[in-house]
């Protein structure tokens, strides 16, 4: 994403935000919305990453609380020649992940507990390499800023809908305006989907495969996430649908078609591209392997509880023994 595309997107979302303000309060409402949008653009540039992580209830982990997962990110970041990002875990059963932050120096990666429980260690490495590729490609700024503004548009439209049909509140179009506002929320999401080019997913897949060194790891991870994601609801994503484009697989629906308004390319197309890359790559450099020196197992959770069943800790009694990534 270049700076011109970012500017065009933000201008379009700002105009939409002002349009909602006009439908709510006429010219005065439009001016208030413009001032709010200007402040929100500035605020979201600095804080959108933290806001998105908060929306999904993500908790930061470190070398003490999640030694193997944190160590994996550190080693993959070194392979990608990136600064070490902050590492977060979301307590959602659906397997998924995303990256956020305004630049590589202020970036974060987040994975769900479902991802850490359901996928193998190699598949998790492929997924997190994909997220690091988004950071390296500078995708994360526009992804997080647009999620913040699109969410604000939806909230403003819903607020305006509460005054449906009341012409005495300065709403210039009455019932028609209210209906229009209720339509603007999905329109805002559509703009995000169109503006965030799906080619970034293919680019992140390829670069992620290069980082981890084994394209087939990411390919099988995408297939497993796709299958499981459509069977398990992601509650935080459903509550914040404007952030759906940030995840490696759409967390909201079972959409499979590579349609014009899809936030993600079809998974089968991504897998095919990865396998073709693997064939072209042939006997390339060795894939990622975990460090031989591992941190000492922790014996208690950060708040004093036992770590039994904790899928991302290195402690005895961690989660599922078959597919679990750290077993």
pLDDT given for residue 60 in this prediction? 97
Give the separation between CA 137 and CA 158, rounded to whole angstroms: 34
Categorize the per-residue pLDDT at 22 as very low, low, confident or very high, splitting at 50, 70 and 90: confident
User: What mean pLDDT is predicted for residues 154-168?
Assistant: 58
Q: H or E element: which one contains 60? A: strand 59-61
pLDDT given for residue 186 in this prediction? 60
Can you tell me whether residue 111 is helix, strand or coil? strand
User: What mean pLDDT is predicted for residues 27-47?
Assistant: 75
Q: Is the pLDDT of residue 70 over 70?
A: yes
CB of 122 within 8 A of CB of 115? no
Give the separation between CA 290 and CA 173, rounded to whole angstroms: 62
- Known catalytic membership, residue 131: yes
Q: Is the pLDDT of residue 279 over 70?
A: yes
pLDDT given for residue 282 in this prediction? 75
Give the separation between CA 172 and CA 26, rounded to whole angstroms: 6
User: What mean pLDDT is predicted for residues 233-262?
Assistant: 76
State which of 163-167, 227-231, 280-284 shows the largest mean pLDDT: 227-231
Can you tell me whether residue 274 is helix, strand or coil? helix
Measure CA of the first residue to CA of the last residue in the chain; give whole Å.
38
**3-state DSSP of 214-262:** CHHHHHHHHHHHHHHHCCCCCHHHHHCHHHHHHCCCCCCCCCCCCCCCC
Domain boundaries, the chain: 3-281
Categorize the per-residue pLDDT at 210 as very low, low, confident or very high, splitting at 50, 70 and 90: very high
Q: Give residue-wise pLDDT tens across range 175-191.
A: 665 666 667 656 765 66
Mean pLDDT across the chain: 76
Give the separation between CA 319 and CA 66, rounded to whole angstroms: 13
User: What mean pLDDT is predicted for residues 290-302?
Assistant: 43
Q: Which of 92, 122, 131, 216 is catalytic?
A: 131
Extract the tokens encoding 266: 């079809």
pLDDT given for residue 9 in this prediction? 67
CB of 255 within 8 A of CB of 247? no
Break the chain down into helix, strand, coil percent, rounded to 5.
60, 5, 35
From residue 165, give the alpha-carbon distance in Å to each of 33, 146, 150, 170: 21, 30, 25, 11
pLDDT given for residue 95 in this prediction? 97
pLDDT given for residue 6 in this prediction? 61
pLDDT given for residue 151 in this prediction? 67
């Amino acid at each position: 994403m270049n700076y011109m595309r970012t500017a065009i997107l933000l201008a379009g979302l700002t105009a939409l935000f002002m349009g909602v303000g006009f439908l709510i309060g006429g010219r005065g409402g439009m001016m208030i919305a413009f001032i709010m949008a200007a402040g929100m653009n500035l605020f979201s540039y600095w804080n959108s990453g933290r806001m998105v992580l908060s929306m999904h209830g993500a908790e930061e982990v470190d070398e003490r609380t999640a030694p193997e997962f944190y160590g994996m990110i550190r080693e993959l970041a070194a392979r990608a020649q990136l600064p070490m990002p902050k590492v977060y875990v979301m307590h959602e059963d659906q397997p998924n992940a995303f990256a956020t932050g305004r630049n590589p120096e202020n970036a974060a990666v987040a994975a769900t507990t479902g991802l850490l429980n359901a996928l193998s260690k190699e598949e998790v490495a492929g997924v997190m390499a994909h997220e690091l590729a988004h950071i390296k490609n500078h995708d994360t700024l526009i992804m997080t800023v647009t999620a913040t503004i699109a969410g604000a548009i939806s909230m403003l439209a819903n607020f305006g809908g509460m005054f449906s049909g009341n012409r005495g509140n300065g709403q210039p179009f009455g019932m028609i305006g209210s209906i229009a506002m209720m339509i603007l929320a999905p329109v805002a999401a559509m703009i995000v989907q169109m503006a965030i080019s799906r080619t970034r997913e293919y680019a992140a897949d390829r670069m992620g495969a290069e980082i981890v060194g084994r394209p087939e790891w990411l390919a099988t991870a995408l297939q497993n996430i796709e299958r499981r994601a459509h069977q398990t609801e992601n509650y935080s994503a459903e509550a914040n649908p404007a952030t759906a484009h940030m995840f490696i697989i759409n967390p909201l629906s079972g959409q499979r078609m590579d349609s014009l308004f899809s936030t993600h390319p079809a998974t089968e197309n991504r897998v095919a591209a990865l396998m073709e890359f693997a064939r072209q790559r042939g006997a390339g450099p060795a894939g990622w392997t975990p460090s031989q020196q591992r941190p000492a197992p922790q014996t208690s959770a950060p708040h004093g509880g036992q770590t039994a069943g904790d899928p991302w800790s290195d402690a005895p009694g961690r989660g599922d023994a078959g597919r679990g990534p750290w077993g």
